[in-house]
């Protein structure tokens, strides 16, 4: 009797455990993928589930290696944080590749500085920085993202992990704002540079008072005043960038420009206020025009560079824009639209005519034709029936069907394509590495 009651209690416990498991998602302790609690399991380990037979076999071969890496309470509390960072790193051949967005780079010297800082970090196998896309690609063994961002910060720049949640439109808008600001600075400096250039060369242009005359000295004094806002506003980024580099005991392009335009203005002001420093009047020249012209041209170059960078990353933004934002999931017999980030392996998803397929999966029921041109380049839609695979971000044409999600998040084909594009943009040819040294 006692044995019968014990068996009944164990049966109820298992039933309650299974009911609890079915209401939540879990993590595969082998690969870390977020999976449905209804996925593959192992007897004796009710708190773990697996995305595939391969991961389950690896767990069965050595459970001790993975116990504690699955679905503990601490892991569940960190799920949301980890999901926010999903996409910034992926594993290949025993190594992880981390992608960081870098801010504050101004020239190739900045690229070399960041690469040296990252490459010298213990646990980093290789580091590549792409100046055009402002991204760093870091191959690591056992280094956290926080350590990498701290290393970049110590070098005088800022970094953050590239995530799938990044909004390409927000980044584009930020670049557009910076582009418009730089154009305003350019026009301001250019308008001041024109008269300043004219009055800086009395020997070349007619109608200018002779050197040494009171009239020319007054004009030069006015030039000194009007070029001050050029230095302080149009050229403000040069001084802030130079100061930031100085604090980290390094130099960059801004250091050179800030030093040059400051020296030109200070020398010219000294020549204006202390003419006795020069043995002859004809040797006394001012270079306020250098301050205005150099500032205007460099700011224009920065604006054009920002526009070129936007075009460089356009292909990647289009790929990211192909991803569906929501999915219609069938749970407990009820259809519900949920964010694409909440879809887990094993979910049943309903797709209607004209909709994007949210994730990769396998058709369970229904029939349709799907436009897969974004993957295979073929303009003719492909027929899909029960048992056929479907690819996320492709477009359902005519029919409606249900399919089971088999790959979600960073494991979908589109995410792999985006990852390969990022890796290609961040790679360097061997000859380029030689030149950088």
Q: Cite the beta strand spans of 332-424 per DSSP E.
A: 334-339, 348-351, 360-366, 368-371, 382-384, 389-390, 395-396, 401-407
How many angstroms separate the Cα of 280 from the Cα of each of 40, 123, 212, 285? 92, 64, 10, 11
Q: Where are any strands of DSSP class E within 220-367?
A: 326-331, 334-339, 348-351, 360-366
> Is the overall model pTM greater than 0.75, yes or no?
no
Question: How long, in residues, is the chain?
Answer: 437
Q: Do domains 96-166 and 326-422 have the same CATH topology?
A: no
Higher-pLDDT residue of 303, 432? 303
| pLDDT per position as a tens digit, 119-178 | 888 888 888 888 777 888 888 887 888 888 888 888 888 888 877 656 666 777 888 888
CATH of domain 326-422: 2.70.150.10
Q: Which residue has the tokens 């979908």?
A: 412
Span 255-260, average pLDDT: 93
Place of tokens 């029919």: 399
**Measured in whole angstroms, how far is the alpha carbon of residue 424 from the centre of its chain?**
14
Q: In this predicted model, what pLDDT tens digit does every residue of 51-107 receive, in sequence order?
A: 666 677 777 777 766 665 444 444 444 444 444 444 455 555 557 888 888 888 877
| 232 has a pLDDT exceeding 90 | yes
Counts for the chain of helices (H) and strands (E), in that order: 15, 18
What are the residue ranges spanned by the domains of the chain?
20-66, 96-166, 194-320, 326-422
Q: Topology of domain 96-166, per CATH? A: Alpha-Beta Plaits (3.30.70)
Residues 6+ apart with CB under 8 A from 107: 131, 252, 253
């Amino acid at each position: 009797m006692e044995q019968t009651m014990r068996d009944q209690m164990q049966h109820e416990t298992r039933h309650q455990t299974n009911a609890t498991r079915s209401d939540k998602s879990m993590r595969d302790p082998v690969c870390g993928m977020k999976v449905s609690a209804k996925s593959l399991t192992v007897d004796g380990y009710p708190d773990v589930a697996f995305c595939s037979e391969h991961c389950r076999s690896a767990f069965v071969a050595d459970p001790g290696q993975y116990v504690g890496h699955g679905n503990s309470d601490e892991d569940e509390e960190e799920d949301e944080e980890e999901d926010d960072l999903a996409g910034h790193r992926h594993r290949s051949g025993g190594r992880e590749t981390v992608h960081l967005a870098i801010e504050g780079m101004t020239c190739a010297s900045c690229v070399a500085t960041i690469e040296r800082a990252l490459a010298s970090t213990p646990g980093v196998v290789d580091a590549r920085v792409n100046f055009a896309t402002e991204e760093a690609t870091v191959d690591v063994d056992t280094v956290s993202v926080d350590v990498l961002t701290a290393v970049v910060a110590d070098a005088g720049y800022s970094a953050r992990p590239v995530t799938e949640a990044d909004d390409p439109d927000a980044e584009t808008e930020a670049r557009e704002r910076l582009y418009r600001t730089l154009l305003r600075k350019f026009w301001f400096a250019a308008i001041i540079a024109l008269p300043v250039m004219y009055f800086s060369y009395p020997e070349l242009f007619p109608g200018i008072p002779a050197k040494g005359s009171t009239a020319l000295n007054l004009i030069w004094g006015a030039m000194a005043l009007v070029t001050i806002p050029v230095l302080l506003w149009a050229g403000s980024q040069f001084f802030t960038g130079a100061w930031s580099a100085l604090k980290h005991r390094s130099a960059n392009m801004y250091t050179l420009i800030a030093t040059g335009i400051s020296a030109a203005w200070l020398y010219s002001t000294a020549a204006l206020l202390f003419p006795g420093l020069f043995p002859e009047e004809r040797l006394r020249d001012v270079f306020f025009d250098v301050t205005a012209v150099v500032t205007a041209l460099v700011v224009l170059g920065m604006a054009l560079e920002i526009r070129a960078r936007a075009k460089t990353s356009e292909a990647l933004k289009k790929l990211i824009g192909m991803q569906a934002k929501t999915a219609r999931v069938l749970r407990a017999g009820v259809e519900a639209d949920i964010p694409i980030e909440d879809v887990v392996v094993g979910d049943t998803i309903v797709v209607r005519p004209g909709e994007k397929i949210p994730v990769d999966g396998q058709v369970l029921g229904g029939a349709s034709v799907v436009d897969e041109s974004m993957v295979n380049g073929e303009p003719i839609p492909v027929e899909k029936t029960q048992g056929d695979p479907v690819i996320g971000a492709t477009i359902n044409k005519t029919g409606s069907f249900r399919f089971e999600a088999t790959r979600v998040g960073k494991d979908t084909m589109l995410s792999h394509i985006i990852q390969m594009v990022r890796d290609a943009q961040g790679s360097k040819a061997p000859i380029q590495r030689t030149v950088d040294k």
